[in-house]
Structure 1
């Protein structure tokens, strides 16, 4: 083993193959000329592309409210690798509006000829409902490459995991389950999956089959909030007592929360009441942030329905205080780069040259953002007239 390889790396699944590749490349490059920078960038782009052209090859109806869009590379070929739990940001045109939304990949990382995006109908959901109503085989989209921090780290997260999922939030959990099965990984997963009704449980047949055939890998508990006659499973709401009953003692097991984000604060509180440390709770963060007026930090007297003026790139236009700044920019034909739309990835950073903005609680501002006046546009709300640069 080269001295630069930390022995702890051997704890990762697939570490031997990675180390062997490092050794192979080291030996091959010992007498090789220094590669041209363009060659290095070309090799990196295959793994971290700036953009992907995708075509819908199949639409699978999962439930009455959810479908899976199977996307393949336009023109064929393999897609970039990803970690189970990551997402892509799909660019969508709706009339004159061009916007993007992040969708977790529900297929396995072992499959590279397509990405599956599982989309559920949401009340008032602009992009999700548009996709469910219009996307058909042959439809073409563009997206960023896979991104996101909601994945399993075998060194720090352990091998006994608890997932609390709701609705289409089961997508990243499904990708991780499929990853474990396809790669024979040493992990045990308990999925507590909340749905409105029994007939609205996404992937129910597959999940139940895996739990039945591979109890060493997966335990599934379905929880519904609107039970029909004959339902014998658990009934919500999902609180500390029900989590304890279904998942068993947490004892520091890593807990993953995956949708809906409006329930995160409540579920964190329930987990903490069971003695779960906050550092052992991970959140899927790739959904549109909740509007802020209900946030107790929202300034008194700042009417969220009131309008202010935004100036950017030589243009000025009126926007509503209570609408995310990123959405307001897109409404007016300006599109900063964006991905998660939940305040985490920071790709939509814009510099606030003048005026004040309010950041939702989801914003993961860096020290440099605060110091130099940058806002995460997807979770920033203009409190007064502002001037932006991006």
Structure 2
């Protein structure tokens, strides 16, 4: 009796083994399959996508959705909640920013990226106010681990969103509705003002039409006419609208300050780290307020960054090294710009660098001096290796 190979539980294993045996019989092997495999992998996980801005939709006074169509046709698939890294040139500076895809995965002809203008920002004001239909841009392929995993996350889901952090949430909701997944999804969405609620009409319509969806909106700075919930998302509100939280999976996406505050509130109502998934939205707004920032160093303090063998430039202690490098004309591979993916790693040869909690550094990184430049801050003159 032949025992079944335990690897047969892996989807596609038996078919692949049968193909290998057939190729062996005919005197062939997989050596000639390399180009086909590379082409297939590139179509699913491209390094760069050539895109055209086919439409611009004004969502609020500070937010608009960019509809991006692939110049080569159908775009690679993605999971609701994932993002792409958008590469642009602003004022002569080549840079990139990650944006969650707000369209549903079922839409393969375009990606929608919903962008909110950040006061004092470098890229978002240009995307909201300066980008025109017909413009050519490029992006990475879809990436990220912030998505619904039915096997591990269960069927009782809560999403806490703030501002443009609702973009991955609307993609998840659209996907669940299209696939009719047997889950419960409670969106708690915080906004500053009543006229700055993104997807207001669609969210209300989905809430009325979809049994799986519960919508709770919270306004922190309401006008006199507003009669809904006000204030901030805290433990009391979460407990009131969601009930027992122990067996729920929670997704959290908003400004860094909101993420930090809500993570603490969720812990207070019994949500464990295992059941909490946080999508960071960039580096800390004020790194000098973080624990561990060196005393006596101001955010505006000038520092010199020397790129080993390539030159040097001036920046300030409060600017992420990745941003400073791009403005000085140095290109560093990057994707998340929030400390997680590690593509932007650089080596610190000398000098002092502050790494906030967002920097998901490995032990080996710390031992050999590597940092994630998107959330690394030079607090003295430094020399680096790209």
Shorter chain as normaliser: what TM range? over 0.9
Residue matched to 1:45:
42
Question: In structure 2, do the counterparts of structure 1 residues 42 and 134 end up closer, same or farther at CA, with 3 Å as the change threshold?
Answer: same
Alignment of 1:67 onto 2:64 = yes
How far apart, in 1, do the equivalents of 2:131 and 2:5 lie? 50
Residue matched to 1:342:
338
* Alignment map for 1:170-249 (pairs within 5 Å): 170-215=166-211, 217-249=212-244
How far apart, in 2, do the equivalents of 1:136 and 1:247 lie? 42
Select the residue among 93, 105, 109 that pairs with 1:109. Answer: 105
**Kept after mapping to 1: 8 A contact 2:259/2:280:** no
Structure 1 residue 244, shift from structure 2 partner: 1.4
How far apart, in 2, do the equivalents of 1:178 and 1:188 lie? 13
For structure 1, the residue ranges without an aligned partner over 5 or more in a row are 10-18
Q: Could you say what secondary structure the match of 1:252 adopts? A: coil
Structure 1 residue 290, shift from structure 2 partner: 2.7
Residue matched to 1:16:
none
Alignment of 1:316 onto 2:316 = no
**Kept after mapping to 2: 8 A contact 1:150/1:285:** no
Q: Which shifted more, 351-360 or 284-293? A: 284-293
Q: Could you say what secondary structure the match of 2:287 adopts? A: coil
**Kept after mapping to 1: 8 A contact 2:48/2:139:** yes
* Alignment map for 1:245-256 (pairs within 5 Å): 245-256=240-251
For structure 2, the residue ranges without an aligned partner over 5 or more in a row are 24-28
Structure 1 residue 332, shift from structure 2 partner: 0.5
CA offsets 1:210-262 (integer angstroms, 9 cap, x no match):
211112x1100111112233423211222111111122221230111110221
How far apart, in 2, do the equivalents of 1:82 and 1:238 lie? 30
Structure 1 residue 43, shift from structure 2 partner: 1.6
Alignment of 1:3 onto 2:6 = yes
Structure 1 residue 136, shift from structure 2 partner: 2.0
Structure 1 residue 28, shift from structure 2 partner: 4.2
How far apart, in 2, do the equivalents of 1:168 and 1:26 lie? 47
How far apart, in 2, do the equivalents of 1:291 and 1:54 lie? 33
Q: Could you say what secondary structure the match of 1:293 adopts? A: helix
* Alignment map for 1:1-390 (pairs within 5 Å): 3-6=6-9, 19=11, 23-32=14-23, 33-36=29-32, 37-74=34-71, 76-215=72-211, 217-312=212-307, 313-390=309-386
Structure 1 residue 26, shift from structure 2 partner: 4.6
How far apart, in 1, do the equivalents of 2:56 and 2:306 lie? 41
CA offsets 1:52-80 (integer angstroms, 9 cap, x no match):
11111111111222111000112x41111
How many residues are paired up? 376
How far apart, in 1, do the equivalents of 2:300 and 2:88 lie? 27
How far apart, in 2, do the equivalents of 1:69 and 1:23 lie? 43
Structure 2 length as normaliser, TM-score?
0.92
Structure 1 length as normaliser, TM-score?
0.91
Structure 1 residue 124, shift from structure 2 partner: 1.3
CA-atom RMSD in angstroms: 1.8
**Kept after mapping to 2: 8 A contact 1:291/1:323:** no
